[in-house]
Amino acid sequence: MAPIERTAMRIRQRRIDLGMTQEQLASKAEVSREYIVRLEAAKHDPTLSVLERIAKALKVDIAKLLK
């Protein structure tokens, strides 16, 4: 599995574990819902600044999303 796929899977699973919709995550991370959809499908590689906002929204350390 490619690193982007692992990161996408971790983001999606953490979002689901928190009971958060893609729309809610997008709003908290200040990105569009479409961005989250593409990210979770491993079709978009996020910048570090966006990944930091997503990690904050998911209440997880960024390293957990990248490991």
Q: Domain map of the chain by residue range?
A: 3-66
> What's the token pair of residue 19?
């009971």
So what's the pLDDT on residue 55? 98
So what's the pLDDT on residue 67? 81
Q: Taking every pair of C-alpha atoms in the chain, what is the biggest distance, in angstroms?
A: 29
pLDDT digits (tens, 9 = 90+) for 1-57: 789 999 999 999 999 999 999 999 999 999 999 999 999 999 988 999 999 999 999
Domain 3-66 has CATH 1.10.260.40: yes
